[in-house]
Structure 1
C-alpha cells in the first residue's frame, strides 16, 4: 500500500490518472497500460537532411492546457536526449541556434473521461471489489520553424494511458507497464518519435 502511495506522490505531476488513485491505492491493485495503437517510430525512418542544422528546443508538459513545471523538469532531459539521438539535427540546444531554427514540443495530459475521479472513488469505497478503468489522454504537438520560413510545420499525435483499479481486467490491445514512470517514458518516446517523423516527412521540411 505504502509503495503505491509513494509512487503516486512521485508521479502526480505526470498524470491525472494518478490523482484518481487516491483512494484506490488502499487496495494495492492499480495497474498501468499503454495503448498499442501508436508504436514508437525508429529514428531510421526519419528524413535526414543532407546538411542537418542546429535547432533550439522548447519543451513543455501541460495538464489540461496548464503548464506543469514539475513534469516539464522531469521529462525535459529525456525528450532532449531523444531528439538529439534522432540524427535529424546537427545540434539541439536551449540557447538560440545558429540560423534561428526552433522546435517546440508540447505534451498535454488530458483525461479522456470527465468521470475519472468518480470511478476511482467508487473503487476505493468497495476496496477493489468493483473494478474500474481510467483513460488518460496525451496530446503531443510539435512546431518546427526553419530559418526564413513563412509558416511553421505543425504536427500532432495522441496516445492513451489506461489505469485499471480493483478487480478490472486488462484493457484490450495495450502493453502493461511496471510503473507509472515506465508508462510515461514509453508514451513520451512514442508521441515524440511520431511527431518528429511527421515533421521530417513534411514537404516543407528543410
Structure 2
C-alpha cells in the first residue's frame, strides 16, 4: 500500500506518514493529503519584487530533524529552483557562482516529533484492526524552512524563517483538518515547497537591505 500512495520521488520526505502507513493493512482506505492553511499563498497585494533582479547562486539542503537527507535534497531541489525562477526576485538561479557574488542558502528541515510518531503508530494499529472503517489517524509533518541571502562579498546577510505543515488523514476519523486537500502526496509536497519558497523569498525582498 505504501508504494501505491507514496511515489518514489516523495517517500523520503513523509517520514511520519510512512511510519503510519507501514502499520496498516492493504485493505484499508487510501490516505488523504492536506496542505496546512496557516501559511497560504502570497497575495498579489503582498508580493514584492526588485526593480532590477540580479542573478543568484543557490545552495540547498533538505534535512530531517537537522540531519542532511541527500536523496530528498536531490528530489526537492528542482521544485525550489522552479519556484525561485518564477518569483521574479532573481534574473537567474544557478548552482554555480554568479556575477556580483550573490548567494541564497535554503534549508528545508522536516521536523519529526517523537510524540507525533508514537501517536501515529498507536492510532494506525487501531485503525488497522478495523480495516480503516471504524477508526482513523491524522498525522502531521512539520517543516522549518530557513532562507539566508548574501547580496555580495562583504555585505551583511538577510535571513528569514518560514514554517509550514502537511497533514495526512487515514481511515474514518471525524476531525476537521486545518488544511486544503490535494490529490496526492506528490502534489502536497510540491505545494508545501512552493508556498514556503514564495513566502521566504517575499520576506527577503521586503527587507530594506535587499538590493533593489
Cα drift, residue 45 of structure 1: 4.2
Q: For residues 93 and 43 of structure 2, what CA distance do their matches in structure 1 show?
A: 19
Change (3 A) 1:165 1:172: closer
Number of matched pairs = 204
Tell whether the 8 Å contact from 2:36 to 2:166 is kept in structure 1 after alignment.
yes
Cα drift, residue 150 of structure 1: 4.4
Cα drift, residue 91 of structure 1: 1.1
Tell whether the 8 Å contact from 1:109 to 1:139 is kept in structure 2 after alignment.
yes
Cα drift, residue 114 of structure 1: 4.5
Tell whether the 8 Å contact from 2:150 to 2:158 is kept in structure 1 after alignment.
yes
Cα drift, residue 123 of structure 1: 2.5
Q: For residues 32 and 144 of structure 2, what CA distance do their matches in structure 1 show?
A: 22
5+ residue gaps, structure 2, are none
Structure 1 stretch 113-122 or stretch 83-92: which is displaced more? 113-122
Tell whether the 8 Å contact from 1:139 to 1:156 is kept in structure 2 after alignment.
yes
Tell whether the 8 Å contact from 2:162 to 2:200 is kept in structure 1 after alignment.
yes
5+ residue gaps, structure 1, are none
TM-score (norm 2): 0.86
Q: Does 1:124 align with 2:122?
A: no
Tell whether the 8 Å contact from 2:143 to 2:164 is kept in structure 1 after alignment.
yes
Change (3 A) 1:30 1:167: same
Q: For residues 52 and 180 of structure 1, what CA distance do their matches in structure 2 show?
A: 33
Alignment of 1:1-206 (within 5 A): 2=1, 4-8=2-6, 10=8, 11-16=10-15, 17-24=17-24, 26=26, 27-41=28-42, 45-112=46-113, 113-115=116-118, 116-128=120-132, 129-169=134-174, 171-206=176-211
Q: For residues 130 and 95 of structure 2, what CA distance do their matches in structure 1 show?
A: 49
Q: For residues 59 and 39 of structure 2, what CA distance do their matches in structure 1 show?
A: 23
